[in-house]
Chain A
Amino acid sequence: MMDVTDEIAPKIEKEEKQYSYLNLGPTHPATHGIFQNVLKMDGEVIVDSEPTIGYIHRAFEKLAEHRPYNQITPITDRMNYCSSPLNNIGWHMAVEKLLDVEIPKRVQYLRVIIMELARISDHIICNTVIGVDTGAATGYFYVFQQREKIYEIYEEICGARLTTNIDRIGGFERDFSPKVWEKINTFLVEFPVVLKELENLLSRNRIFMDRTIGCGGISAERALNYSFSGPNLRAAGIDYDVRVMNPYSSYEDFDFVIPVGKNGDVYDRFMVRNEEMWQSLSIIKQAIKKLPKGPFHANVPEFYLPPKEAVYNNMEALIYHFKIVMGESDIPKGEIYHCIEGGNGELGFYLISDGGRTPFRLHLRRPCFIYYQAYPEIIQGSMLSDAILTMSSMNVIAGELDA
């Protein structure tokens, strides 16, 4: 009688090498988002990979062609939802560039404060998740408390926490209340202590360093060719930061350092983000110190909602209110590109207006989408567990990736 195992055993040709295929994602907890990667594996080593994206594609560019300008803000929220104020403010600045509006200094400074808070909240996620993926979950829960504090600040300003819809075309919907300043000041006192502890936990930790140094690296040359931007590019050693290169919203008034790495690996990305949080804290402190007095919004009655009492008592205000709510404000024709330094890099808005109520074309330059295409090249030849660590250190956010 024939041995059963002979029949079910796969017939392997001696010479030919066999690869196994692994589906990483789309809903694997380790991918921190909805990405699928089909990995071709030789044992535990990745030979080749094929990312599939688009699982949460919501056609923002098409939607934007059917929405008045002020109604596009909630769409931008949902791009990089870890730092939605950056997207909101970036979009508003793009529209203001099209309208040629002069924004009061105070608004610019308030925006800087909010944007830097958002950057901190974005970097907190990335850095603590690197910790989780290397087995240090403590830092994650401890530092996330501070993220909660940032959400409370947003909440105090605009009423929302995750998808903020903060800011308006022209400025803020209301001035910051004393409660906001109180919360920001508490945050500025409490957060450095927590951040220092995260830094102490990981940055000189032998286990963490052994695990991350040399893992998921990319050379500066390849990173540039792949159009990396933000912390990932800076980790590879190139000091490109939109805040310094093309200062917007008065960033030229502040004194800060652009941290750069050397090897572009997970450790360098961690350290760059870590240092950027310190720099953001310093920028916020400078902005509060130098904060000028003045109005909290620019004079753009066609786009900035008038106060409710004025709507009831004043004809012009009523007309503007109606026009804004119905999305019928006149907008000049034009073609602009505005970019800001988002949490992950250069977040760009390429906007063409034909003078109609909606944009003729809005193209969003999402940093994640551009640099995630380098992922197969980075993980080629590395271990499976390194691939997961590389993905979390690149901070790929599904919402921004798929738009």
Chain B
Amino acid sequence: MMEAAAQEKILSAINDKFEGEVIEAGMIKDFFTIILKKEKIVEVISLLYHHEETKFQYLTTLCGIHYPDQNQIAVMYQLHNLSTNQRIRLKIFLPAEKPEVNTLTPVFSAANWPERETYDFFGVIFEGHPNLKRILNVEDMLIFPLRKEYPLEDQTREDKNDLMFGR
């Protein structure tokens, strides 16, 4: 649980340098979550990394989320300050047709594979990524399988007989 003062500190650190980047901020369950505009996300994370008051120097995880109703793909970053044990979540929303955002690899080497994974499953293009190609799926796959429009199983499969039990 993060106190209000600490939340205020993080928000003012961002607002001092990047006015108007924060769209929304608040607690979701026990996690302080900030929704940001996508343009300056890497700069904001870099600021949180270097800023004296915040020092979020550990990238816990990074992943994509598809919201089919809004036709948007969110990218979620979770940062952790290991000395004060504060965790925050940053979220950006990208249009599903053309999800593009700058890469986080210059700040965190750890962002490399999670970004490739997000590209692999959601088709998010991370501009400037050193090696943006599929990581877990086969290279000649044409779809981005974790998007909601793709069913669990390939519907064109013919090697399974579903006369009796269905799929």
User: Which residues of A does B touch, CB under 8 Å?
Assistant: 53-54, 57, 59, 61-63, 65-66, 97, 222, 224-227, 238, 240, 245-246, 334-337, 339, 346, 348, 350, 352, 361, 363, 365, 369-370, 372-374, 377, 402-403
Task: Answer whether A227 and B60 are a contact pair too, CB < 8 Å, given A54-B137, A66-B152, A350-B76.
Answer: yes
Known: A224-B57, A369-B113. 4 other contacts (CB 8 A): A54-B135, A59-B145, A372-B113, A377-B109
Q: Give Cα distance in the complex from A246 to B113, angstroms.
A: 26
Task: Answer whether A363 and B61 are a contact pair too, CB < 8 Å, given A245-B85, A335-B29.
Answer: yes
User: Which residues of B does A touch, CB under 8 Å?
Assistant: 28-31, 33, 57-61, 63, 65-66, 76, 78, 82, 85, 87, 89, 108-110, 112-114, 117, 121, 134-138, 145-146, 152
Contacts of B60 in A (CB 8 A): 227, 339, 346, 348, 365
Contacts of A365 in B (CB 8 A): 60-61
Q: Give Cα distance in the complex from A352 to B64, angstroms.
A: 12
Could you list 19 examples of A-B contacts with CB < 8 Å? A53-B135, A53-B136, A54-B136, A57-B137, A63-B152, A65-B152, A225-B108, A227-B58, A227-B59, A246-B85, A335-B29, A336-B29, A336-B31, A337-B89, A339-B60, A363-B76, A369-B117, A370-B110, A373-B110
Max count, chain B CB within 10 A of own CB: residue among A240, A348, A370? A370
What 10 A-B pairs are tightest by C-beta distance, nearest first? A227-B110, A54-B136, A363-B63, A365-B61, A57-B136, A373-B113, A225-B109, A226-B110, A66-B152, A361-B65
Contacts of B30 in A (CB 8 A): 336
Closest CB in chain A relative to B86 CB, distance in Å: 11
Closest CB in chain B relative to A202 CB, distance in Å: 31
Closest CB in chain A relative to B6 CB, distance in Å: 16
Closest CB in chain A relative to B134 CB, distance in Å: 8
Q: Give Cα distance in the complex from A232 to B78, angstroms.
A: 20
Interface pair B137/A226, CB less than 8 Å apart: no
Closest CB in chain B relative to A274 CB, distance in Å: 24
Interface pair B112/A373, CB less than 8 Å apart: yes
Contacts of B137 in A (CB 8 A): 54, 57
Closest CB in chain A relative to B160 CB, distance in Å: 16
Contacts of A62 in B (CB 8 A): 145-146, 152
Contacts of A348 in B (CB 8 A): 60-61
Contact of A227 among B63, B108, B117, B121 (CB under 8 A): B108
- When C-beta atoms are compared, the residue in chain B nearest to A67 turns out to be B152
Max count, chain B CB within 10 A of own CB: residue among A61, A65, A240, A361? A361
Contacts of A373 in B (CB 8 A): 109-110, 112-113
Contacts of A372 in B (CB 8 A): 113
Contacts of B78 in A (CB 8 A): 337, 350
Contacts of B136 in A (CB 8 A): 53-54, 57, 402-403
Contacts of A369 in B (CB 8 A): 113-114, 117
- When C-beta atoms are compared, the residue in chain B nearest to A336 turns out to be B29
- When C-beta atoms are compared, the residue in chain A nearest to B78 turns out to be A337
- When C-beta atoms are compared, the residue in chain B nearest to A59 turns out to be B145
Closest CB in chain B relative to A101 CB, distance in Å: 14
Contacts of A403 in B (CB 8 A): 136
Interface pair B121/A61, CB less than 8 Å apart: yes
- When C-beta atoms are compared, the residue in chain B nearest to A366 turns out to be B61
Closest CB in chain A relative to B166 CB, distance in Å: 14
Closest CB in chain B relative to A75 CB, distance in Å: 13
- When C-beta atoms are compared, the residue in chain B nearest to A346 turns out to be B60
Contact of A61 among B29, B33, B82, B146 (CB under 8 A): B146
Max count, chain A CB within 10 A of own CB: residue among B78, B112, B136? B136
Q: Give Cα distance in the complex from A66 to B138, angstroms.
A: 22
- When C-beta atoms are compared, the residue in chain A nearest to B150 turns out to be A62
Interface pair B63/A350, CB less than 8 Å apart: yes
Interface pair A224/B65, CB less than 8 Å apart: no
Interface pair A374/B109, CB less than 8 Å apart: yes
Interface pair B61/A370, CB less than 8 Å apart: yes
- When C-beta atoms are compared, the residue in chain B nearest to A339 turns out to be B60
Contacts of A337 in B (CB 8 A): 31, 78, 87, 89
Q: Give Cα distance in the complex from A139 to B31, angstroms.
A: 44
Q: Give Cα distance in the complex from A337 to B58, angstroms.
A: 16
Closest CB in chain A relative to B133 CB, distance in Å: 10
Closest CB in chain A relative to B110 CB, distance in Å: 4
Max count, chain A CB within 10 A of own CB: residue among B59, B76, B113, B146? B113
Task: Answer whether A240 and B82 are a contact pair too, CB < 8 Å, given A226-B110, A337-B31, A348-B60.
Answer: yes
- When C-beta atoms are compared, the residue in chain A nearest to B131 turns out to be A50
Q: Give Cα distance in the complex from A365 to B146, angstroms.
A: 16
Contacts of A222 in B (CB 8 A): 109
Interface pair A370/B113, CB less than 8 Å apart: yes
- When C-beta atoms are compared, the residue in chain A nearest to B111 turns out to be A227
